[in-house]
Amino acid sequence: MAVTSLTALQVMRDAPVIPVIVLHDVRYAVPLARALVAGGIRMLEVTLRTPEALDCMRAIAVEVSEAVVGAGTVRSPADAEAAARAGARFAVSPGFTPALGRACRDQGLPLLPGTATGSEIMAAQEEGFSALKFFPAVQAGGAAMLKAWQGPFGDVVFCPTGGIGPGNAADFLALPNVACVGGSWLVPGDALAQGDWARITQLAREAVALRI
């Protein structure tokens, strides 16, 4: 079982942006994590979208003590178990099921479950989750949808992810029910391929400066 004292809110409130990271080569994992940490971003969501993802999480967990590595695209209890074994300390999902929620609790992983409708928010709340991912944010109604949810779901905070970048992140972060946003723009594919860690550190610094 993963040992962690984190809560989902602590993950969400650590910085204005949680980077959504897709890694195909474990050699990039540690220098990337160090570059993001140098820019002030510690919560790192490594998505389970590649065969190398678990090895990348493991490398970051072992070698970059300042980073808090999490698993993204967690869709099943088996994903949660594998992520915890690899050293993940939180989990992010594109959706939610009660079985996934239970598995993450069993593994000691704070979970940001994905929601896109009022019914999905209510289902997550029934299982005790009130710090949620809003995904895909722009496609599911964007900032206007989050404003509409402030009334009926005033006790919920969100991490909107999907279609968010430096041009619209501040619009989401200005909302009282948004704790942070998720985005892939902190790790551009060309910067990663070229090992341009200085550029990634600068993007992280700019992201930290978005805090309202």
What's the pLDDT band for 2 if we cut at 50, 70, 90?
A: very low
Per-residue pLDDT tens over the stretch 63-108 = 999 999 999 999 999 999 999 999 999 999 999 999 999 999 999 9
Share of the chain above pLDDT 70, in %: 98
| In a domain? residue 1 | no
Q: Is the predicted pLDDT of residue 59 greater than 60, yes or no? A: yes
| In a domain? residue 203 | yes
Q: Round to whole Å and give the CA distance between 146 and 177.
A: 7
Q: Round to whole Å and give the CA distance between 22 and 57.
A: 11
Which pLDDT belongs to residue 211? 82
| In a domain? residue 55 | yes
- Just list the catalytic residues: 45, 133
Domain that holds residue 104: 8-208
Q: Mean pLDDT throughout 126-137?
A: 98
Q: How many domains does the chain have?
A: 1
| In a domain? residue 3 | no
Q: CATH number of the domain at 37, please.
A: 3.20.20.70
CB atoms inside a 10 Å sphere around CB 98: 11
* Mean pLDDT for all residues in the chain: 96
What's the pLDDT band for 3 if we cut at 50, 70, 90?
A: very low
With contact defined as beta carbons under 8 Å apart, do 75 and 49 qualify?
no
Strand 131-134 to 17-21 pairing: unpaired
